[in-house]
């Protein structure tokens, strides 16, 4: 049974962990799931790639999630083992032939994404010209204010999308449209712009859509500029749907990942050495912290010091991970107490998204220890924001 503690500090006081520990907050996850289920104007598909931990999936199920965006057979099987009755959808635009056959024949999937004519032919061939497919055509969209741009690898143009829709419909298949505005998207209007492209594609295709899938991209709160409220994104999507004007029987989907689960976990790491303004930790880029390499992903941090409190003012530090590799560093700056030292622990918040799935065992450092904590989400505060760089006159 999963160990449970009041908060991360209580866990550290009890366990004194010498390896990184992920602290899950099931109630936070369930509440966030409910916010999507009740606020989004359609079905909510959780993007399993973001965090497939069974505890996370159960908390989201408890919050009302019944559909899952799966991008591999392994993800499909993970969901099927835990929730045999759940809806699974193969949302990867490029799939192995064996994966298509297994997903269709063994697991009963009927919705498959394509963004290229050859992928449509592959899907048609591998399912034995099945007439019960729903072909989801993925459009490329402008990046906008997103941390990760997904348009360079996946997505087709409006003209290509219309051709794919017509080709699928000519085989008697139902057809949908999907897009992704980019991960950690900070601008609700990006969804409206993408819906405008979808409208253009539908006008060219002259095919009635069975599904409109607005994808993921919903942001979470990191240190720095804060995203608009979730409802602002839902309002922009409703405006986009009004523009598309889908038929009454058309389903509407979204695929949240980061925006649903980031607040549901934190990671506790230990300081192994302090060298001036550099802290050497027992976790790093090859472990749970690779997401911090990207500009715009700046997780909140606070010190845990059992038996005492850190009262020194905050100052900027950079971080090094435990491996013998120079890439394993995070320049930050990260605001932590000036008297931080070896043996202190640091809790890193907003860490429920992409931290566990990107861990490696490189150099012999790997940890997958997890506990449950019962406090609320560890959200960023203004003091955690690093000072602006001093202006240097020309």
Give the DSSP per-residue string, 51-62.
---HHHHHHHHH
pLDDT of residue 384: 80
Whether the ω angle into residue 151 lies within 30 degrees of 0, i.e. cis, is no
26-261 shares the fold of 4-22+262-378: no
Q: What is the pTM of this model?
A: 0.94
> In 265-313, where do the E strands start and end?
265-275, 278-281, 301-304
pLDDT of residue 357: 93
CATH code of the domain made up of 4-22+262-378:
2.40.37.10
Specify the DSSP class assigned to residue 354: S
For residues 56 and 83, is the Cβ–Cβ distance under 8 A? no
Residue 165's H or E segment, with its range, is helix 158-170
CA neighbor of 9 nearest in space, from 354, 318, 308 = 308
pLDDT in tens, 71-109: 999 999 999 999 999 999 999 999 999 999 999 999 999
pLDDT of residue 381: 87
Domain boundaries, the chain: 4-22+262-378, 26-261
pLDDT in tens, 135-159: 999 999 876 656 656 667 899 999 9
How far is residue 270's CA from residue 341's CA, in Å, rounded to a whole number? 10
Q: Give mean pLDDT, residues 229-248.
A: 97
How far is residue 373's CA from residue 356's CA, in Å, rounded to a whole number? 17
Our measurement of the distance from residue 187's CA atom to the centroid of its chain's CA atoms, rounded to an integer in Å, reads: 17
pLDDT of residue 394: 39
CA neighbor of 201 nearest in space, from 135, 240, 157, 252 = 157
Give the residue carrying structure tokens 């009302």. 64
* Side-chain half-sphere exposure of 374, counting CA atoms within 13 A: 6
How far is residue 110's CA from residue 91's CA, in Å, rounded to a whole number? 11
Residue 119 pLDDT more than 50? yes
Q: Coil, strand or helix: which one is 382? A: helix
CA neighbor of 201 nearest in space, from 243, 253, 235 = 243
pLDDT confidence tier of residue 124, bands split at 50, 70 and 90: very high
Specify the DSSP class assigned to residue 156: B
Portion of the chain with pLDDT greater than 70, in percent? 96
CATH code of the domain made up of 26-261:
3.20.20.10
Q: Coil, strand or helix: which one is 68? A: strand
CA neighbor of 111 nearest in space, from 93, 131, 89, 139 = 89
């Amino acid at each position: 049974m999963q160990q449970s503690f009041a908060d991360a500090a209580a866990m550290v006081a009890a366990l004194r962990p010498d390896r990184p520990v992920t602290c899950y907050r099931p109630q936070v996850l369930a509440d966030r799931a409910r916010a999507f289920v009740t606020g989004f104007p359609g079905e909510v598909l959780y993007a399993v790639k973001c965090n497939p931990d069974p505890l996370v999936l159960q908390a989201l199920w408890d919050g009302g999630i019944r559909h899952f965006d799966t991008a591999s057979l392994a993800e499909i099987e993970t969901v099927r083992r835990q929730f045999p009755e759940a809806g699974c959808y193969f949302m990867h635009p490029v799939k192995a032939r064996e994966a298509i056959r297994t997903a269709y024949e063994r697991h009963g999937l009927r919705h498959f994404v394509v963004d290229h004519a050859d992928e449509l032919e592959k899907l048609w061939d591998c399912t034995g010209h099945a007439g019960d497919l729903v072909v989801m055509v993925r459009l490329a969209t402008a990046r906008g204010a997103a941390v990760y741009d997904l348009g360079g690898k996946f997505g087709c143009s409006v003209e290509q999308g219309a051709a794919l829709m017509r080709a699928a419909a000519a085989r008697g298949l139902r057809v949908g449209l999907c897009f992704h505005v980019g991960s950690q998207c900070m601008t609700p209007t990006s969804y409206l712009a993408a819906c405008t492209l979808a409208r253009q594609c539908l006008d060219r295709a002259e095919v009635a859509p069975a599904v409109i899938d607005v994808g993921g991209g919903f942001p979470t709160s990191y240190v720095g500029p804060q995203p608009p409220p979730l409802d602002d994104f839902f309002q922009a999507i409703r405006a986009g749907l009004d523009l598309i004007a889908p038929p009454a029987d058309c389903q509407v989907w979204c695929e949240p990942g980061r925006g649903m689960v980031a607040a549901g976990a934190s990671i506790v790491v230990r300081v192994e050495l302090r060298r001036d303004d550099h802290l050497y930790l027992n976790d790093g880029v090859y472990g749970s912290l690779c997401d911090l390499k990207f500009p715009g992903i700046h997780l909140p941090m606070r010190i845990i010091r059992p038996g005492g409190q850190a009262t020194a003012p905050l100052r900027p530090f950079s971080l090094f991970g435990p491996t013998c590799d120079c890439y394993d560093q995070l320049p930050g700056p990260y605001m932590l107490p000036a008297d931080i030292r070896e043996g202190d622990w640091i809790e890193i918040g907003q860490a429920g998204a992409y931290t566990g799935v990107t861990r490696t065992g490189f150099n012999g450092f790997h940890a997958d220890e997890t506990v449950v904590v019962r406090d609320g989400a560890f959200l960023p505060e203004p003091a955690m924001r690093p000072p602006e760089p001093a202006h240097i006159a020309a």
